[in-house]
Structure formats: C-alpha cells, structure tokens
A and B are shown apart, each in its own frame.
Chain A
Amino acid sequence: MVIWRIAWRNLWRNRRRTQLTMGAMIFACAMLVFSLGYYDGFLWSLINNATEKENGHIFLARPGYYANPVLEDTVSENISAQLPTAVKEQVKGVCPRLQAYALLSCGTGQENRTQPSQIVGVDFQAELANSKLAGDIVAGSFLSGQQREILLGQGLARKIKAELGSEIIFFSNAADGSIASEILLVKGIFSSGDNLRDSALAFMNIVDAQQLLALEGRVHSHRLFLHNPMQAREVAEQINDHQKAIEATPWQTMFPQIADILQIWFAIQLFTVAIYYAAMALITFNTMYMAFLERMQEFAVMQAIGLTRRRLARLILLESLILATVSGLIGMMLGASLNIVLFYYPIDLSRWLESISWGGSSIQPVLFCVPSLLSNLLPLLAMILLGFAVAALPIWRLYRLKPVEALREV
C-alpha cells in the first residue's frame, strides 16, 4: 500500500507537467469514446434506416421471389403457423406486404401527369406497431385503414403534381391479367431521405391492393422484425431449415454493403483508437521518461541503500498506470456522458446538410451517438495498455542503471 502512496505522491511532484499530461490524456480518451459512439450511431442509423423503415430484419416470401419478384408469386396472409416455435420467440412483429408496379396519374387534360411507380400494400396497424414508416410522413397523415387511401413519396407527388386530397388514378394489370384501376385519394406525403426511392414509391392499404390486384388473402412477403436484429442471419437459417415453402432472407443479404461494414467494424474501431492514441503515447512517454531522468540519482541512492530494482520498476509502472487509468476513467466518463446526451437528444443538421443514399439505406444528417459498452471500455483499456507501454523504456533504463555512475553525475 505504501508503494501506491509513493507512486501517487511522485506523480504530483511536478504538478503542472502531470496536469498537462493528464489533461491531454483525458481529452484524447473523451474524444475517442465520443467518436466510437458516433460511429456506432452512424452504423445503427444505417441498419435502422435499411431495415426498420421498410424492409424488416427478415424478408419472408415464396422461394425465388426475393431475387425475381413476380406479381403472381404470393404466400398466405397468415404466416404465423409456418414459423417454428423457437423463431416465434425472437420475432417482435410481422408486417405483410403486397407490391406491384402501376401507373399513377394525377390531373386532367393537358395537366395530366403519369408516372410508373412501385406500389406497396401495407397493413397500417402492423406498420405502426413495428416499422418506422409512419415517422417519414411530412404532410398529411399515415394510412388509417379507410378505403382508397394512398401515401405518395415526396418526389413522386412533385412529379405528378399531387397534393393532399388529390385524386390519383391507379392503373395496372391484376394477377389474373385483368386491368386494375381505381381512384385513390392522397392521405399523406412521405420523405424517407432517399430521394430516388421517394420519387417512385407509394403505399396503400393492403386490403385495397389485394382487391385491385385480384390477390385476396395473399401477400408477396412478410417482413419480420426481431428483438435482436443482429440475430437475423441465424433466425433466417432456422426458418429455411424448417420450412421449404417459404424462403427467409436476412437483412445482411439484402444489404450486403452494410453487412460488410459490420464485419470490419471492430477493425475500424481499433484503427481509430490507434490514430487517436498515437500522439497521446508520445506525450505520456515524454512525461514518464522526463520524470525518470529527473530522479535518476534518487533511484541510484535507493538502490545503494538496498531497494531492489524490481521494487523500483514496480513503482515506475504504478506511476504510469495510475496516470493512464485515472485519465482514462475521467475521459471515458466525459465521452460517455456526451454520447448519452446525443443518444437521447440527437442534433438535426438537415438545415445545412442533405441525406445521402448508400447501400440500400440512407445516411441522415443527424449528430447521433450510441453509447455501447465496447465504445466506452475500448478507449479505457487501450489507455491502460498505454500506461504499460510508456513505462517500458524507463524500466529498461532502470535495469541498466549503475548506482555509482549515476551518483557520480550529481
């Protein structure tokens, strides 16, 4: 215990130098925790935007439909009976979807504007409970289950010059080959942040879509929302092993670019730690080495009166570890606090920046962090390792120190 007290006291013998070094270490650690939290937030948003808005974590459809969607390739509306019990426990919710291509037209005479669009029939209650589709509404409101409602993407509404309440003509071919036509009314306009997607996408009530497309009681896909999205691949495998009449596709297959990033995510975090701590290591090393040089005669005297090199080395190591651990803990607390604040209160930067579509998802201009255990502990652990590393040279010098020569220099 005495050695701990001596180490602590030694650190504060040159108060200003220690304060400056600790300040730099605390700042580096706090910024690193914040950066890793921001990266996690970025990845979290990317996965969420790709899955929870529209696609779900698992895409369940007739075999082959995911790769080659055909209007007539449908599955039963009731999917629950086809899922294994073990899978049901992991499923948070299910959203049935029906999708088709249709011409959507608005206006009369020379003002008529027609656009080919992807129409997705959704169960509004299931969507409200599971997906975040309703959160994209920028004008009007989400579907309410009333007949003939339609939601238009912002870009699509602009192209066909439609507004809230506008009459939209739906024109397509039904699954039985007949002409599917209906007059729909714009209930809401949405913006997902993916402009390309919003310029050719519309949502309507699944019951209306089933009637129009002559697919009563049938759907094209079920989107499963899981308690843990990272388990999607395993759950999909369980379904595919159990049921041959349907095919489960996890989000990692739907969005391979995002899945690829996830694979190298830990490496990216380590790389970030290395960059942040490279300069920090030099500053701390300088502090520790200077402290050693200043006390070289002191170490010589201590050795002369019988203190072993091992105990002196332990003292140097302890000083270095105390410096790194205390700085790491304070830095981690500061960085984690910032992450928690930005997790609950993200800063919207859409006034200055635009969203970017990438890998089937969209990157939103929001300063948002996720305070994960790894992003908090990794900088702290790295800082402690740094403590070991910067003590190495002074200890090495200590073992080569000859007390007589050191005392002669006094």
Chain B
Amino acid sequence: MPKYAVLIMLLMSSVLWAEELATASVSIARPDAIALVRAVETQYQGDCSHGKMRMLIKTRSWTRTLEIEMWSEGRDKLLTRILAPVKERGTCTLKVDNDIWNYIARIDRMIKIPSSLMGDSWMGSHLTNDDLVKENKIDQLYQLSIAEQNGDIATIVGIPFPDAAVVWGKIVYQIDTARLVPILIEYFDEEGEKVRSMVFSEVKQVGERLLPMLARIVPADKPEEYTEMLYQEIDFSVELPRDLFSIKSLRNR
C-alpha cells in the first residue's frame, strides 16, 4: 500500500510540474499585459523615490514652467512641492491612497480635493487629479489585454471593469517590451473618442532601470496645447522620513 501511495504522489507532482512549464512557456511567448502595464505605470516609483521635474504647460493663452520636487512611497503615497515660480513656491500636493490634499503656501491653508473633482486639471496642467490617484492602479481598474505585438512593440488595450469608478473609457498603451519603457499612451472617453495622448521620449538609464525622462501630454481637442514633464533627477535609493506623507508635514516642507 505505501508503495502505491509514493507512486501516486510522484505521478501527481510530475503532472503539476508539467503544467507550470506550460504556463511559463506561454508567458514567454506572449508577455503578460498586466505585468507590462504595471511596470510602465510604476516606472517612476520604487519602494521610495525622490526626484525633481520641470513641467512646461502651454495653453492657447499662456505658457508657464513649474519646477517641482517629488517624493513617493509605493503606489499609494505621493508628495509634490512647487519650487518655482516664486509666487507659488511651497505649494504642495499630497496624495495618500485615494485622497488628495493641496497646501497653498501663499495663504498657508490646506484644502482637500473632493472626489467629484478628480477629473479636473491639476495645477493648470493637462494632468488631472485622477491621474495622481489612479495612474498607478490601472491594472486593478482596467481589463488589460495585448491587442497587437509588432516586434518588441506591444499594443495593450485597457477597458475598465464594469464596477470601476474611472475617468477613461479606454486606454491604449504602446510599450517597448524589450526595454520595458512606454512609447505612447492614448486615453479615450466612453464614446471611444480620443481625449489625449501621452508621448514618452529621451530614455535614459537610471540605476538599474531605463526611464523616459520626457513625457508630453497633448489634448486631442486642442492639439496646439500640451504639458511637458521633464525629469531632471530621480533617485530610487532614498530613505524617506516616516511622517513625510502626512498633512502635518505639508506646512513644514
């Protein structure tokens, strides 16, 4: 009887091992859409990160440049602080989970952004508050699938899950799977009309990863307008103070 038992166990384990091999071979032949999008959306974050960026905003009527310092921890915590222009220096945005707070240095006051305003512009740019909250959770909110694989370039389509509270009706990614960097992300509304596109360029090696240092957002209905985000420095090996991502720390920044 024990001899039979050992035999059955050996047989079962060999079957399981064979299944694992089969799954792995499939994932090598066809990269995992979720893993790719997750890698791209969290590319500027590590366990912790600290960086500086220059944001150039061009609209029909005005052009302005913001210099911004940023800190992040995981996918849920983000703090930004405006360094320039001087008039807005010290203005901070704190994101913790799904909440966003703005600290306005000029009047030394803080306001919480209500959920109804997640689709509104962030600091006058073509980014929305929702981008800050949900950009790192695309893989949780959208059903992702690879629509096309052309050499190293994969086109991934994201359709929101039926119960997901999201702004976009569809997101289409073009990702360089060899270098694991995004090339283009296009955002569509519920009617399938393109709303904006985000183009990435100037890929550089930062630590162990390749990062596009320039991202340019262009609204589809106003092609003459754009927001450019140029990363000047980014460091993934920093240790951040424990209370950095708290409302109290906003005033002290």
Contact = CB atoms under 8 A, between A and B. Distances in A.
A108 interface: yes
B87 A182 contact: no
A68 interface: no
A182 B107 contact: yes
B104 A116 contact: no
A304 interface: no
A226 B87 CA distance: 43
Nearest to A159: B114
Contact of A115 (B106, B114, B120): B114
Interface stretch (A90-98, A170-178, A390-398): A170-178
A337 to B, nearest CB: 53
Interface of B: 57, 59-64, 85, 87-88, 91, 102, 104, 106-107, 109-114, 116-117, 120-121, 123-124, 247
Nearest to B106: A181
Contact of A179 (B59, B63, B104, B116): B104
Contacts of B114: 114-116
A177 B88 contact: no
Contacts of A175: 61-62
A176 to B, nearest CB: 5
Nearest to B64: A177
Given A169-B104, A176-B62, A181-B107, A109 B247 contact: yes
Contact of A114 (B57, B85, B107, B111): B111
Interface in A73-121: 103, 105, 108-109, 112, 114-116
Contacts of B123: 173, 179
A318 B88 CA distance: 88
Interface-central residue, A114, A115, A179, by most chain B CB under 10 Å: A179
Interface string A262-304: 0000000000000000000000000000000000000000000
Contact of A72 (B60, B117, B120): B60
A99 B113 CA distance: 21
B107 A177 contact: no
A398 B104 CA distance: 94
Interface-central residue, A109, A114, A176, by most chain B CB under 10 Å: A114
Contacts of B60: 72
Given A178-B85, A178-B88, A116 B59 contact: no
Nearest to B113: A114
Contacts of B104: 169, 171, 179, 181
A171 B102 contact: yes
B109 A116 contact: no
A199 to B, nearest CB: 12
A183 interface: yes
25 contacts: A72-B61, A103-B113, A105-B109, A105-B112, A108-B110, A112-B110, A114-B112, A114-B114, A169-B104, A169-B109, A173-B124, A175-B61, A176-B62, A177-B59, A177-B63, A178-B87, A178-B124, A179-B106, A179-B123, A181-B104, A181-B106, A181-B107, A181-B109, A182-B107, A183-B107
Closest 4 CB pairs of A and B: A105-B111, A72-B61, A177-B62, A173-B124
